[in-house]
Structure 1
C-alpha cells in the first residue's frame, strides 16, 4: 500500500512538472508572438503543442482531488494547443512570403484540420506564387482538400487543376461543392463585408463557369445552360472566359432546342453564338460557323 501511495505521489509530482513546463512554454510563445519573432514562433509553437498533447494524453488519476486537478490541467492544455495553432497562423499572416510559407507548413504538419488554416490558405498560395513556387500550389491543395474540404481557396485550385488535366467529372464535382460552400459560408473575420462580397462573387463566377464547362463537355446540356447563365454576369470582366461561356451556351441551347423541338431555344443558341463570335479569340470563328448552321436549323422548325 505504501508503494502505491508513493507511486501516486510520483505521478502527481510528474504532472506538476509537466504543467510548469507547459506554462513556461505558453508564456514564451506569447512573448514571441507579441514580438513577431518568426523563428521563435516556428520553434516554440510545435514544442508547446507537444507538451500540451502530452498532458492531454495523461490518464486520469483515481482520486477525486487529483482527478479534479487533472481535469483542470487538461482543459488548460487544450487551450494552449489551440493557441499554438493561432500563434502560427497569426504570425504567418504578418510575415514576408518565405516566412509565411514556413509557418503555414509547420501548422499543416501540426494539425492539417486546424480552423486557423481556413483563412491562411489564400495568402499561403499567393506567397508560393510570389516566391516562384507556383508549381507546388496544386499538389498542396490536392492534399489539403482532404482535411479542409470546404475551404474556398483550396476548392478553386483543385477545380482548376482537374479541369486543366481534362478530368471534367472531378472538376465539376469540386465546382459544385464550391458553389454549395459559398452559398452558406459566413464572412471571414479578417475580411470586410465589401472584400468578402467581391471574393464571393469572383469565386462563385469561377465555380459556375467550371461547372458549366464540365457539364458541356459531358453533354449534360441542360445543366451546362444553367451554370453558364449563372456565370456570365459574374465573369464579365474576363473576356475569354465570357467568349467560352457564350460558345458553350450556344451549343447547349442548340442541343436542348433540337431535342425538344423548341425554335426559341435554337434562336437563343444563335444569339449566344453570335455574341461569342464577336469576341476576338479562339472561339470567334467556330462560334460564327455554329451560328450560321443554327440559323438553318431554326428555319426548319415551326
Structure 2
C-alpha cells in the first residue's frame, strides 16, 4: 500500500517556495529526528538548487540518540550542507541557528546585506513550535496534526536576519514505500490518507526487530527479545491489544483500538526514544524506490508511444 497526501495548499506552497528561493541565502529544512531520511523533501532539493542548506533534526529528545548522531554525521558529509539536532529544551535555538547560517553564507550579514533564510519542513515536524521558541513569542500557529500552517510569513529574528516560514509540504508522489509508513506514523500525513492498523503493523515490524526490549517493557509482554522478534506483526498487535485492554465482547481484540494505542504511545514517546531508519537502511529503500519509479515511468512512456503509433496508423 502506497501512502500519498498532497492537498491543494501544498501546491500553492510549492509555487511560493519557487518564487521566494530566488532571493534566499540559506534554506533551512526541519526534519523529524525519528525519520531524518523520510522527512527530507526531495522536491525541496529540486526547487532550491545549490542553495546552502541547514538540516535541523528536530525532536531529537524523542529519537534514538545514537541514530541521531549517525544521521547528523551523514548529512554533514554532504556538500553545502550542515546538520544539527534540536529539541524543545534547547536554551538558545536562535543563536545556534544564526551561527550555522553564517557559516553557510559568510558573506551575508549586517544591515546592508541582511541574511535571508527560508525555513521548510514536512507537516507536523515541529517547525512552528521551533519558530515560536526562537522568536520568543507566538508568531506561528502550532498543533499536533498535519497541515496547521497554511500561509507564508516573514519573521525577524534579528535586525539583519529575516526568516520566511512556509506551510508544511510533502511531495506529489512518495516513491519510497517505507517512507510513507514512517511519515504516517509520525503524524506528517493527513489522517484520511492511511489506514492506522496497516501503519501500526509496519511500525511494529520495525520495532520488534530493533526495539523489542522497549515493547516488552511498555506492554508487559513477558517475552524476551528473540521471542518478540519471532512473532508475526498481527500476533504482536493482538497481544498488545490484550495487554492494554482493547478487548471486545467475546474476548476478541479490537485491532483498530490497539493500533490507535500503539500509535499514540509512539508519538508521545511512551514506548521510548525511537528512530525508524538508519542512513544505510534509507539509502537501500531509496535506491529500490527510484528503480521501481523508473520502471513505472518506462512503462508509462512505452504505453504513450504505443498510443501515438496507433493514432498515426489509423490516420494513414
Normalised by the length of structure 2, the TM-score is: 0.25
Greater helix content:
1
Greater strand content:
2
Normalised by the length of structure 1, the TM-score is: 0.26
